[in-house]
Amino acid sequence: MQFGSVPTVGVDALTPGAFLLDVREDDEWAAGHAEGALHIPMSEFVSRYGELTETAPENGEIFVLCRSGGRSAQVTQYLVQQGLDAVNVAGGMQAWEAAGRPVSDGKGGAGTVV
């Protein structure tokens, strides 16, 4: 599936162990996120790009999440332009939560998507 010219998949395509990049802002992340996701807010993304390249699996897919899929589509487009195998997750964390996937508050409790 494509979101404009951006590779896009639904939450159902994500398998356990998929590399997730959450580009939501700090308050959104703190309220609830996918356990194990790398968090780099879109507003800080270019300056923190090295964190992604150090953490992402070599030659592996990077699944990019935001709240609903708009910001993540922009970041995905940027990553594809950099030659990375990035894929936007349609519906973002709202779709993740709606699909019954776990949302963590990072403190051992259940989180919520804001």
The phi, psi pair for 55, rounded to 5°, reads -100, -35
What kind and span of H or E run contains 98? Answer: helix 92-98
d(CA 11, CA 109): 22
Task: Quote the DSSP letter at residue 44.
Answer: G
The catalytic residue positions are 66
